[in-house]
Structure 1
Amino acid sequence: MQFSELNLNKPLLRALEDLQFSSPTPIQEKVFSVLMSGRDLAGIARTGTGKTFAYLLPLLRMWTFSKDKLPQILVLVPTRELVMQVVESAKALSTYMSFDVVGVYGGVNMKSQAAELMQGCDMVVATPGRFTDLAAAGVLKVKNIKKLVIDEFDMMLDLGFRPQLDLIFNKIPERRQNLLFSATLSEEVGSLIGDIFKTPIIIEDDDIGTPIESILQKTYAVPNFKTKINLLDLLLGNDPDMQKNLIFVAQKSAADLLFQELKSRGMESVEVIHSNKSQNYRFRAIKSFSDGEIKTLISTDIGSRGLDIKGITHVVNMDVPTEKTDYVHRIGRTGRGGNSGTAISFVSPKEEEDFAEIEEMYQLQLQRIPLPPYLEIEEGLLPFEMEHESIKVPTVKTDANIGAAFHEKLEKNKKVNKRRDIEAEKKLKYGKSYRKGM
């Protein structure tokens, strides 16, 4: 099917032509008619399948101009990076429309965002916390909202946003179309659908949750993080195909350590982002990576769903993600838009079991590539690696005839209740009694 076969108007078709998109992805094709009908919908699709355009295209097609310039569409996403991604996509699709979109998120001064909202807009893209702040302040008017989109809902649950979502559901008009997009159909997703959706349609993309076929997946068995740094340095310096590389590290301290180590070895074309970095710093780093000014970007899992950057050739997992489903989200940053990509995972001995579970979950049998013979093998574990080591609980020997919580007290700690003779104590101290009235 071509986009021209969908019920799209000329401004949208022209924008898609400028973006060089001619055919909808399966999820875009499946949800279009349902959204256009006005029904509530839950779309379940893996990362990299075009979920953002799947809801933006029909919503922009249904939008009608209003002089009030009060938002008619609300899109809720879990991270600041996703706010910017959706805003950029909406602006690109509405190039030939008189349509205004504003993105709001935490971590920056609220005044500038409030001023932008006061000028009026047709769609707001927001993180839940910042939306509730602006709505409570009376800056964000919600009475005209007719369409609610909750994107990456499973990630919102992971970040603890359910209380804010409940506040928002009660704040915005009850008569609205509800749209939810998630990578997984979990019990919590089903619970929300049951609570606020009205006779929803649930659409699942084909092969939900499976890694994208266009991604070549490799693994190395590496003894520890310090050796992983050496291996990454070797690969980046010797593989000419590694032109645009996204490196995932689970912990912020490990991400900073990796960045500092690569810089100390003379690598200039590298940046790092995580939640401790300022918003402006993160935006600059992402833009530099997107524009090709730097070749390598190090990120925590904040970027596993929040980054939609064209042309990423390689994803490297410096560690095995704690959440099994994050493996797919990480590697899905490459191999997008019909392009091929490569995902490389460094697996330490203590991560082998977790990685085996990922392989079983996604029915993978990935070959372990031998380490290069000239790789320098380091010894010892770093503090953040040892944090995940299992803790052995000592066995406490107890008398079989005595309860487990009983132990004999020391003589000095034994407490015996005695009746005190205050009169005698005073007579001993002062030589006479001190009775009241004497």
Structure 2
Amino acid sequence: MSFQDLNLNTPLRNALEDLNFQNPTPIQKQAFPAIMSGKDVVGIAQTGTGKTFAYLLPLLRMLKYSEQKNPRILIMVPTRELVVQVVEEIEKLTKYINIRVAGIYGGVNINTQHLDVIQGLDVLVATPRRLYDLVLRRAVQLKSIQKFVIDEVDVMLDLGFKFQVNNIIEILPPNRQNIMFSATMTEIVEDMIYVNFKSPEKISVAVSGTPLENIAQQAYRIANFNTKTNLLLHILADKEMYKKILIFIGDKRIADRLYDKLDEKFSEEISLVHTGKSQNHRLKNVSDFDKDITRILIATDVISRGIDLENISHVVNFDTPQYPENYMHRIGRTGRAEKKGTSLLFTTEAEKENLQAIEELMKMEIPKMEIPAEVEISTDLIPEEKPREIEINNPNKTLDEAGPAFHEKKEKNKKVNLGGSYRREIAKKYKKPKTRGDKNANRRSKK
């Protein structure tokens, strides 16, 4: 089947021809008639199989020209980078169509976005928190939403957007079409579908958690950060094989530390993206990597979902993610559009359970590789790897130890706990019991 066989109009066909897209992917073929029918749809497909076009093509096909100001299509995504990408995809597909589209996300001036959205929109792409802020400002009216798309809802919930997502869903018109696409399906997502979707048609071109067959996976058992870094330096030196590398790290502090290490040798080839960086910095570094200006990109999971980056030869998991779904999304940045890709996983003994969860989800064991002999095995630990010192009930600290600030108290400040001897001492001094408030007792003592 080609795109010509789908019920597309001429402007959309022309836009696809300009993009040199000839044949739809399986998820695009199956989703098109389901979404066109107006039913609620839930799509499960491996990352890198074209889920964004799977919902954009039918939605844009059904969208009629209108001059009303309130948006009719709402697409909610978890990250700023994904907002920018979806807006770019819409602009490509609507090259020959008069469509008003805007993307809103945090990290930039909300007043500027306020002015943009009140000009009038057909399609709104947004992250949950910034959308909720603009709704509270009454800058965005959602009463005209006809089609509601949730893309990568599982990561929205992981990022703590459950409150905003539920509140946005509550104010949407009840008579709307709900569409959800993801590479993984969790219990909390299934609960959300049960509550908010009306008899959805489920489309699954792969079992949730199934990796793409064109991605070769390898794992290395490595003890610590410095040994991982040494192996990475050894790997990156081979520029012929490792042409374009995306390195994922869950902790942005470790990401900063790794960047400083690699920057010493690959300063002109490396860039960094995480939530601690400004929005302009993040967008520029992602763009430089996508355009092959840089060869190496270190990133946290902020860009592991849905971001379509061209020709990534290798994905390196510098750590083993706690949630196996995150691993699936990470490795899905390579091997896109049926191209070959490779994933490398660096795992420690402390992450053994995380590795087992990943292999259980994929129903396969990741091949374990030996560390090359020329890679130095380090025993030095970085601060994040050292055991935390807990002073309370510390078994390693004896009572006789004194810190550098210890000094003996002056004699007058050494208080003695008299305890139960207080009354006896008073009795010796006054020859009678000292009783407060008992007049009879005091009268008896005078006699």
**Structure 2 CA distance for aligned equivalents of residues 123 and 174 of structure 1:** 18
Displacement of 1:417 after TM fit?
A: 12
Alignment of 1:384-423 (within 5 A): 384-386=384-386
Displacement of 1:357 after TM fit?
A: 3.4
The verdict on how the C-alpha distance between 1:198 and 1:356 changes in structure 2, with shifts beyond 3 A counting, is closer
**Structure 2 CA distance for aligned equivalents of residues 384 and 30 of structure 1:** 47
**Structure 2 CA distance for aligned equivalents of residues 119 and 355 of structure 1:** 49
- Structure 1 residue 179 corresponds to structure 2 residue 168: no
SS of the counterpart of 2:338?
A: coil
Q: Are the aligned partners of 2:44 and 2:206 in contact in 1 as well (CA < 8 Å)?
A: no
Q: Are the aligned partners of 1:178 and 1:197 in contact in 2 as well (CA < 8 Å)?
A: yes
Partner of 2:335: 335
- Structure 1 residue 246 corresponds to structure 2 residue 253: no
Partner of 1:211: 211
Partner of 1:165: 165
Partner of 1:126: 126
Displacement of 1:385 after TM fit?
A: 2.9
Alignment of 1:197-208 (within 5 A): 197-208=197-208
Displacement of 1:380 after TM fit?
A: 2.9
- Structure 1 residue 44 corresponds to structure 2 residue 47: no
Count of residues paired in the alignment? 411
Q: TM-score, normalization: structure 1?
A: 0.87
The verdict on how the C-alpha distance between 1:225 and 1:67 changes in structure 2, with shifts beyond 3 A counting, is same
The verdict on how the C-alpha distance between 1:316 and 1:417 changes in structure 2, with shifts beyond 3 A counting, is farther
Moved more, 5-14 or 182-191: 182-191
Q: Are the aligned partners of 1:154 and 1:183 in contact in 2 as well (CA < 8 Å)?
A: no
Displacement of 1:388 after TM fit?
A: 9.8
**Structure 1 CA distance for aligned equivalents of residues 29 and 421 of structure 2:** 82
The verdict on how the C-alpha distance between 1:183 and 1:17 changes in structure 2, with shifts beyond 3 A counting, is same
Partner of 2:275: 275
Partner of 2:232: 232
Partner of 1:53: 53
Partner of 1:399: none
| Structure index of larger Rg | 2
Partner of 1:430: none
Q: Are the aligned partners of 2:46 and 2:206 in contact in 1 as well (CA < 8 Å)?
A: no
SS of the counterpart of 2:337?
A: coil
- What are the superposed Cα offsets for residues 8-48 of structure 1, whole Å, 9 maximum, x if unpaired? 11111111111121111111111111110111111122321
**Structure 1 CA distance for aligned equivalents of residues 230 and 272 of structure 2:** 18
**Structure 1 CA distance for aligned equivalents of residues 418 and 20 of structure 2:** 82
Partner of 1:367: 367
Partner of 2:405: none
**Structure 2 CA distance for aligned equivalents of residues 206 and 44 of structure 1:** 7
The verdict on how the C-alpha distance between 1:61 and 1:237 changes in structure 2, with shifts beyond 3 A counting, is same
Displacement of 1:413 after TM fit?
A: 10
Q: Are the aligned partners of 1:74 and 1:123 in contact in 2 as well (CA < 8 Å)?
A: yes
Alignment of 1:19-34 (within 5 A): 19-34=19-34
The one-letter amino acid paired with 2:363 is Q
Partner of 2:352: 352
Partner of 1:402: none
- What are the superposed Cα offsets for residues 315-374 of structure 1, whole Å, 9 maximum, x if unpaired? 001111111121111110000011111111112233334323322331223332222221
**Structure 2 CA distance for aligned equivalents of residues 19 and 254 of structure 1:** 39
- Structure 1 residue 258 corresponds to structure 2 residue 258: yes
Q: CA RMSD in A?
A: 2.8
Partner of 1:401: none
The verdict on how the C-alpha distance between 1:70 and 1:351 changes in structure 2, with shifts beyond 3 A counting, is same
Partner of 1:88: 88
The verdict on how the C-alpha distance between 1:41 and 1:266 changes in structure 2, with shifts beyond 3 A counting, is closer
The verdict on how the C-alpha distance between 1:426 and 1:170 changes in structure 2, with shifts beyond 3 A counting, is same
Q: TM-score, normalization: structure 2?
A: 0.86
The verdict on how the C-alpha distance between 1:346 and 1:262 changes in structure 2, with shifts beyond 3 A counting, is same
**Structure 2 CA distance for aligned equivalents of residues 98 and 384 of structure 1:** 53
Q: Are the aligned partners of 1:74 and 1:125 in contact in 2 as well (CA < 8 Å)?
A: yes
Displacement of 1:249 after TM fit?
A: 0.9
**Structure 2 CA distance for aligned equivalents of residues 363 and 265 of structure 1:** 38
**Structure 1 CA distance for aligned equivalents of residues 39 and 215 of structure 2:** 35
Q: Are the aligned partners of 1:79 and 1:306 in contact in 2 as well (CA < 8 Å)?
A: no
Partner of 1:436: none
Moved more, 373-382 or 91-100: 373-382
Partner of 1:12: 12
Is there any run of 5+ residues in structure 2 with no aligned partner, and where? 396-415, 437-441, 443-447
Q: Are the aligned partners of 2:185 and 2:208 in contact in 1 as well (CA < 8 Å)?
A: no
